[in-house]
Amino acid sequence: MRKGRELIGLPVIDWKTGKETGSVEDLIVDLSQGKVTALSVRSDGWLTNRRLVPLKQIQQINKQAVIVNEENTDAQLAVDPGPELGIKSLKGISVFGCEGRDLGTVEDLVLSLPDGRITGWEISDGLVQDLVDGRRVLPVDAVVASSTDRFVAQEGGW
């Protein structure tokens, strides 16, 4: 299990050439499927560009880099080019209990690799509470409803 923030900033390496083709800028999330579908990769240089790398193109993710198969162009068609929802845009979304109690805000996600399945959401109760107790992880099966505005979760037991 990895946290999303562990992937952001990692270099993206083409497995065939060994060249660095960019760095991970964000993780693209499909809330309805409960998974990360692609990585948003930014390449620096004379012309900065951003592209989506579907998980199907990823050969390996380790602590130092993301290794991708850039030749597999069929996999690029698997990512819906519609509006993207990244983990950066989900950060700070309010989490409420079914009874209306404020449980905190989304800070990150926890995912299973290589399939990209989201296993939980890291929740913050505020800086002081995070320092005292640490952040809690809300299991994905405790989320009753999720949108780009708020999450509703079962209270207790997690």
Give the mean pLDDT of 55-62.
90
Last residue of one domain, picked from the residues 78, 100, 123: 78
Does residue 68 have a pLDDT over 90? yes
CA-CA distance, 107 to 121, in Å (whole number)?
8
- Please state the domain count of the chain: 2
Using 50, 70 and 90 to split pLDDT, how confident is the model at 53?
very high
Residues 54 and 107 in one domain: no
The pLDDT assigned to 157 comes to 67
Residues 62 and 92 in one domain: no
Full domain range(s) for residue 14 = 2-78
pLDDT over 90 percentage in the chain: 59
Residues 6 and 74 in one domain: yes
The 10s digit of each residue's pLDDT in 75-84 is: 444 444 445 6
Pick the closest to residue 27 from 121, 99, 98 (CA basis). Answer: 121
Please identify which residue in the block is written with the tokens 């995070």.
130
Residues 11 and 60 in one domain: yes
DSSP 108-122: EEEEETTTTEEEEEE
Does residue 158 have a pLDDT over 70? no
Give the mean pLDDT of 46-67.
88
The 10s digit of each residue's pLDDT in 102-140 is: 999 999 999 998 899 999 999 998 888 877 888 899 999
DSSP alpha helix (H) spans, 73-156:
87-90, 127-133
Residue 41's region, left for phi above 0, alpha for psi from -120 to 50, else beta, is beta
Question: What percentage of the chain's residues is helix, strand, coil (to nearest 5)?
Answer: 15, 45, 35
34 SS3 class:
coil
Using 50, 70 and 90 to split pLDDT, how confident is the model at 26?
very high
Does residue 93 have a pLDDT over 90? yes
* Mean pLDDT taken over the chain: 86
Dihedral of CA atoms 33, 150, 108, 57 in degrees, nearest 10, equals 30
Residue 34 sits at the vertex; the CA angle it makes with 28 and 37, to the nearest 5 degrees, is 30
Last residue of one domain, picked from the residues 27, 53, 78: 78
